[in-house]
Every structure is written in structure tokens, then in C-alpha cells.
């Protein structure tokens, strides 16, 4: 019971959201600022990193039994550019962009809300609480934004790689998916997505919180250079890739046009293991590693810098 009460109390400590807390306490970020800054960061980041996401998804959908269409990352890029031009590497961007902005907004908004109630009397957030707050943010973004967004994105990419594409654009694709499969058609692989996003953000915010605490030492308000923030973000991104790539592979399979082959998330994992082996769970790791490290570094840099600007024009004392 004592453990439960401690866990419950974790998110029930109201904190003043002053721009600069008195007595050397750490500055807190208002959830409203986090939502706005997160949305801006998410939109800019996805425009920069989408080609690597496209290649990663193509390689994961390229099952061995087909047989494989691509011989590797370079061959996937080569065939795509030859067949559709450079713009081909950005097919499906609209569906991801429409979701990336609210996804990042929800992630940072929920994280800051939870972390503001989870800090100690000095306003410090320890690593364990950072992990729990990240987990909460990841689960929320998975349910509200990521699952429907990713399902549509994967279906678009898979459809465009087929001999006779049937989706003419984002809105047409969404209409067709809902018309033929209902709302459930945009929520395929929900369990895998929740597991993936929850573990993703738990790992990333755990690493970021740990590195920030180490860097700031006894000065909770010590400024962090954008380059340092980016480095910490890249490390956090790499940790999350090696920690949950198998879940990412399962999620992608569950959301593809051939998702009907799998009865559940567990069935998908079992069939991948049985027919393709353990290595299949790490298919697309290299392109995902490059994308995620860049992704997380860019997002955290932009987020922190936008928050700094908002602190000067939006007083939340």
C-alpha cells in the first residue's frame, strides 16, 4: 500500500508555473507553451527527415516471402527515384505531416503537465519520474494521434508501391479506408502502437532527464547549449531505437495492406519469428536509427528554443 500511495502522489503535487521560480528552484514550462512549441518542432522535423522514414517503411513491408523487391537501403532509394523521381521519397508526407504536428504537441504538452506535478520541492525531476511521465505522454499520443496517423501513412506507402495504386491523395485515401473498413480501419495495430510509443517516449525522456540532471548538476536553471541539447536528443533517440525496433516492425506489419494475415499483435510476432526468424524484427534498423537520432535531436533543439522565445512573450506567473 505504501508503494501505491507513493506512486499516486507522484502526479498530485501542484507546482507554480512561474517563468523563474524563487529560491533557486527549477523553472517549469507551462503545458500551453509545451503544446505550441511541440507542434512547431514536430512540423519542421518531419519535413527534414521524411525520406528516411519512407525507406524504413518500404524495407519493413518488403517481406522475404515476396521475394524481396529491394536489396538494401541504397537500392530502395535508387528504385524509388528512378520510378517516381526525388518526389517519390516524399510520397505519404502529407498524411504524416498532418499527424506529426498534433503528435508532438500532445507529447510535450502531456509530458510537461505530468512532470510539473512530479517534481520534488526544488523543482527537480528525477530519472524514474521522467520515465513515467514519458510513458504517459507516449501512451496518450499513441491513442489520440499516432495510431490513426501511422495506419494511414503505411497504407499510403504500401498502396503507392503496388502495381495499381488506388489512393489519389490524402483525403481520398482516408475516405476510402473509412468507407471500406470503418473507423477501425484507421486503428489497426493499436496495441503495438501503444507499446511502441509508450516505450519510445519512456526511454527518450528517461535518457534526456538523466543527461540534463547530470549536465546541470546542482544548478537546475543552468542553460543548455542547443548543440548539447541536440547531442542528448540523438543519444536518447538511439537508445529508443535499439530498445523497441521489434515493436516498430510488428506495428508496421499490422498497419499495412496485408494486415488481414494477422489475427493479433501476438500472432503477427509469432508468424514473423516462425517464417522469417529473429533478424526480421530488426529489419530497417539502420535507416530508422539515422532518422530517429536526427528526429529527436531536431525536435528537442527546436522545442527548447521555441519555449525560450515564448517565455519572453508569454508570462505564466
- 161 within domain boundaries: no
- 218 within domain boundaries: yes
- 274 within domain boundaries: yes
Residue 202 belongs to what domain range? 188-283
CA 101/CA 94 separation, integer angstroms: 11
Let me know if 172 is exposed, middle or buried by CB neighbors in 10 A (0-12, 13-18, 19+).
exposed
Residues 6+ apart with CB under 8 A from 250: 189, 192, 265, 268, 269, 272, 281
Q: What is the pLDDT of residues 271-291, one digit of tens each?
A: 999 988 888 888 778 877 877
- 230 within domain boundaries: yes
- 239 within domain boundaries: yes
CA 203/CA 195 separation, integer angstroms: 12
pLDDT at 21: 46
Full-model pTM: 0.72
- 261 within domain boundaries: yes
23 C-beta neighbours (distance < 10 Å), count? 7
Q: What is the pLDDT of residues 179-201, one digit of tens each?
A: 888 888 888 778 878 988 999 99
pLDDT at 281: 87
User: Given a cut of 50, is residue 170 above it in pLDDT?
Assistant: yes
- 1 within domain boundaries: no
Secondary structure element (H or E) that encloses residue 187, with its range: none
Looking at residue 126, the DSSP 8-state letter turns out to be -
- 206 within domain boundaries: yes
CA 51/CA 195 separation, integer angstroms: 25
Domain count, the chain: 1
Amino acid at each position: 500500500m505504501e508503494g501505491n500511495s507513493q506512486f499516486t502522489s507522484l502526479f498530485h503535487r501542484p507546482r507554480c508555473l512561474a517563468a523563474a521560480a524563487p529560491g533557486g528552484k527549477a523553472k517549469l514550462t507551462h503545458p500551453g507553451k509545451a503544446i505550441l512549441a511541440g507542434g512547431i518542432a514536430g512540423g519542421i522535423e518531419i519535413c527534414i527527415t521524411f525520406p528516411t522514414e519512407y525507406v524504413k517503411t518500404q524495407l519493413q513491408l518488403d517481406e522475404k516471402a515476396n521475394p524481396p523487391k529491394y536489396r538494401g537501403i541504397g537500392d530502395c532509394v535508387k528504385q524509388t527515384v528512378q520510378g517516381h523521381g526525388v518526389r517519390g521519397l516524399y510520397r505519404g508526407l502529407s498524411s504524416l505531416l498532418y499527424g506529426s504536428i498534433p503528435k508532438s504537441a500532445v507529447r510535450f504538452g502531456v509530458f510537461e503537465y505530468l512532470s510539473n506535478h512530479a517534481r520534488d520541492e526544488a523543482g527537480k525531476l528525477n530519472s524514474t519520474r521522467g520515465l513515467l511521465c514519458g510513458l504517459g505522454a507516449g501512451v496518450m499520443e499513441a491513442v489520440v494521434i499516432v495510431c490513426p496517423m501511422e495506419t494511414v501513412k503505411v497504407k499510403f506507402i504500401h498502396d503507392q508501391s503496388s502495381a495499381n495504386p488506388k489512393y489519389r491523395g490524402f483525403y481520398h485515401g482516408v475516405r476510402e479506408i473509412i468507407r471500406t473498413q470503418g473507423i477501425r480501419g484507421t486503428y489497426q495495430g493499436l496495441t503495438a502502437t501503444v507499446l511502441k510509443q509508450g516505450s519510445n517516449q519512456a526511454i527518450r525522456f528517461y535518457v534526456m532527464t538523466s543527461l540534463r540532471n547530470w549536465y546541470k548538476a546542482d544548478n537546475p536553471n543552468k542553460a543548455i547549449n542547443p548543440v548539447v541539447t541536440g547531442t542528448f536528443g540523438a543519444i536518447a533517440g538511439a537508445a529508443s531505437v535499439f530498445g523497441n525496433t521489434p515493436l516498430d516492425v510488428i506495428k508496421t506489419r499490422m498497419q499495412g495492406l496485408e494486415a488481414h494475415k494477422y489475427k493479433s499483435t501476438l500472432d503477427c510476432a509469432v508468424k514473423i519469428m516462425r517464417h522469417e526468424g529473429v533478424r526480421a524484427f530488426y529489419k530497417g534498423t539502420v535507416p530508422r536509427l539515422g532518422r530517429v537520432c536526427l528526429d529527436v535531436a531536431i525536435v528537442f533543439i527546436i522545442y527548447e528554443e521555441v519555449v525560450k522565445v515564448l517565455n519572453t512573450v508569454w508570462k505564466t506567473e
